Chain A
Amino acid sequence: MNWRKVKDRLAARSMLVVIAFANSIAFLIALGLFIKSRPVLAKESIVDLIFSSTWAPLRGEFGFFPFIVGTIEVTLIAMVLTIPVCLLSAIYLSEYAHRLVREGVRLVVDIMAGIPSVLYGLWGILVIVPFVRNLGHALGHATTGYSLLSGGIILGMMVSPIIISVSLEVLRSVPMEAREATLALGTTRWETVKHVVLRVARHGILSAIVLGFTRAFGETIAVLMIVGNVPKVPQSIFDPAYPLPALLANNYGEMMSIPMYESALLFSAFILLLVVSGFNLAAHITLLRTERG
């Protein structure tokens, strides 16, 4: 057999190995974190870990409840603030804006997506934290400004690029004929958007929101810098919180010295991975379905 053919066969075989490697990374990460979190899972039941509020690593008590609540609340605030802005922007860019405006804003969104999270955190400390402190005082809440609300505002900004760009993509993929047919019936532009374009694109837009949600859920450094990091269930949006990723990032230094601590923290990374991957999987599968139409 010809040497060139042999080389081609070999290459094709090794391509299979390469694909297997690409597919196995996610499983390896999950497996590694799971193995490390087994000691703490063996000691306490998963329900206790998730719903207990006592966080006392020295006594070996690991209740993740305040952290889980903190993560969910800060993420929800971010989503509430960012979803209207992002969706309206995406609709405007897709349906109303001139091509040049669309390209321009796309560039803005790309740049925003590329700004490192530590810079968002720094900006938050310089701008948002004082703002929230003053707002809190004006409303009669004593607050340092390092709070759920500040974290939510910054997170909302950080996830807006992905929500805008994915939903813009989805809206653009709605066939032009659908719009033309509706407009030909004498509807206004907004009626077309509301009744036709958004209806066709609803699953895709939901996926965009979910993708933004998972980004916010796992974001670490910016939140860590702003949200205050007090391990209690927050009572108001001006209270500090302590999301899971921040917990993990803040305590890595000590985790080797206290038994079970390392295992408990890596368990939190494992939860984070499972939640985020689960939502992402659902969103991507929905997006793939919409692409195929």
Chain B
Amino acid sequence: MIASISIVVAVLVAILLVITLRGASSLSLSMLIETPKGGYYLGKGGGIANAIVGSLYLSLGATILAFLLSLPIAFALQKEFTGRHLANVTRLALDILWGTPSIVYGAFGFVLMITLGLHASLLGGIIALTLLMLPIMTRSMEEVIRMIPPELKETSYALGATRIETTFRVVFKQALPGIMTGILLAFGRGIGDAASILFTAGYTDYIPRSLLDPVASLPLAVFFQVATPIPEVQQRAYASALILLVIVLVVSVASRLLGRRFSRNIVR
């Protein structure tokens, strides 16, 4: 059994080590701040600033949109608003969505875009990622909201506050650490996902100027560059992978720290 645990831990260490070592040797400042120049895909100059900025645009946009949709759902699942059975069915529906492969979101996003007459664009990518993030965010927020001691809400009701006032003034504040964790969790998942934006966001060497421009992204930068036969371009895939890994790890650490920091204001 200890051997099994060691395998699991060793796999993580090996992944982190290999990507860090390979990535670090090919990472440079120009990779970070330049967009691809002519002949970039043959090994000439330039960087992946287009993918870094693109990924941030996509994930930030989707996180904001998903937050605006998730928070009301998480609030609505409280027993004051929704009966137990309906709430359980909704939780189940969200769990099923959570398990849906991201390529299916990509395909659905694509169908949606054809219907709306859109091309592969920042907007399309944001829509697909929002769908992907929605169940993750909602379920993790809702778990925290459900943990709030009922006495706290009852105190608020006893003072004459309405349900919606209690929700915003008591529940929201109390659940804030959990809400932050949920947002960061979804952001981390979204920024690393490739399959859902493959159809919907496209790929470009430029930083998008409007919502309707196609947009590059880090996961797809790794994916496309590693597939080329040219060693210099493959090196850049490793560097892109390292950047992606660092972003994901920072987000994951931040969510833990933030969760702890915000929990100071909580009544226990």
Do A and B pair up? The answer is yes
CA of A272 to CA of B101 in the docked complex: distance in angstroms? 8
| Inter-subunit contact A11/B12 (CB<8 Å) | no
B89 within 8 A of A: yes
A125 within 8 A of B: yes
| Inter-subunit contact B163/A18 (CB<8 Å) | no
Contact of B5 among A92, A111, A280 (CB under 8 A): A92
A170 within 8 A of B: no
B-facing residues in A2-19 (Cβ within 8 Å): 4-5, 7-8, 11-12, 14-16, 18-19
CA of A291 to CA of B136 in the docked complex: distance in angstroms? 21
- With a CB–CB cut-off of 8 A, which chain B residues contact A202? none
| Inter-subunit contact B15/A7 (CB<8 Å) | no
| Inter-subunit contact B72/A18 (CB<8 Å) | yes
How near does chain A come to B15, taking the closest CB pair, in angstroms?
5
Q: A19-B82, A19-B86, A266-B111 are in contact. Are A111 and B252 (CB under 8 A)?
A: yes
Contact with A along B75-114 (1 / 0, CB 8 A): 1110011100011111011111101111111111011100
Q: A96-B1, A245-B195 are in contact. Are A119 and B15 (CB under 8 A)?
A: yes
B-facing residues in A166-225 (Cβ within 8 Å): 211, 214-215, 217-221, 225
- With a CB–CB cut-off of 8 A, which chain B residues contact A215? 99
A93's closest neighbor in chain B, by CB?
A: B5
Contact of B15 among A21, A35, A96, A115 (CB under 8 A): A115
| Inter-subunit contact A280/B95 (CB<8 Å) | yes
B244 within 8 A of A: yes
A285 within 8 A of B: yes
- With a CB–CB cut-off of 8 A, which chain A residues contact B222? 118-119, 122
| Inter-subunit contact A245/B101 (CB<8 Å) | yes
Q: A19-B76, A19-B82, A23-B89 are in contact. Are A123 and B248 (CB under 8 A)?
A: no
Q: A220-B195, A225-B226 are in contact. Are A245 and B4 (CB under 8 A)?
A: no
A232 within 8 A of B: no
Contact of A225 among B77, B223, B252 (CB under 8 A): B223
| Inter-subunit contact A112/B11 (CB<8 Å) | yes
| Inter-subunit contact B131/A25 (CB<8 Å) | yes
| Inter-subunit contact A84/B4 (CB<8 Å) | yes
| Inter-subunit contact A85/B4 (CB<8 Å) | yes
Stretch at the interface among A55-63, A102-110, A136-144, A233-241: A102-110
- With a CB–CB cut-off of 8 A, which chain A residues contact B88? 288
| Inter-subunit contact B241/A110 (CB<8 Å) | no
| Inter-subunit contact B73/A19 (CB<8 Å) | yes
| Inter-subunit contact B97/A119 (CB<8 Å) | no
Interface secondary structure of A, over-half rule? helix
Stretch at the interface among B148-156, B185-193, B208-216: B185-193
| Inter-subunit contact B76/A15 (CB<8 Å) | yes
B-facing residues in A234-275 (Cβ within 8 Å): 245, 248-249, 252, 265-266, 269, 272-273
CA of A35 to CA of B143 in the docked complex: distance in angstroms? 35
| Inter-subunit contact A116/B95 (CB<8 Å) | no
CA of A73 to CA of B89 in the docked complex: distance in angstroms? 33
A107's closest neighbor in chain B, by CB?
A: B256
| Inter-subunit contact B163/A26 (CB<8 Å) | no
B11's closest neighbor in chain A, by CB?
A: A157
A-facing residues in B1-47 (Cβ within 8 Å): 1-5, 7-9, 11-12, 14-15, 18-19, 22
| Inter-subunit contact B7/A85 (CB<8 Å) | yes
- With a CB–CB cut-off of 8 A, which chain A residues contact B191? 116
| Inter-subunit contact A218/B100 (CB<8 Å) | yes
B245 within 8 A of A: yes
A-B contact pairs, 20 of them (CB 8 A): A8-B163, A16-B81, A19-B73, A22-B76, A35-B111, A105-B5, A105-B9, A111-B12, A114-B248, A119-B244, A122-B237, A122-B238, A123-B19, A164-B8, A218-B103, A220-B195, A249-B106, A276-B101, A277-B96, A281-B92
Residues of chain A whose beta carbon lies under 8 Å from any beta carbon of chain B? 4-5, 7-8, 11-12, 14-16, 18-19, 21-23, 25-26, 29, 32-33, 35-36, 84-86, 88-89, 91-93, 96-97, 105, 108-112, 114-123, 125-127, 157, 160, 164, 211, 214-215, 217-221, 225, 245, 248-249, 252, 265-266, 269, 272-273, 276-277, 280-281, 284-285, 288
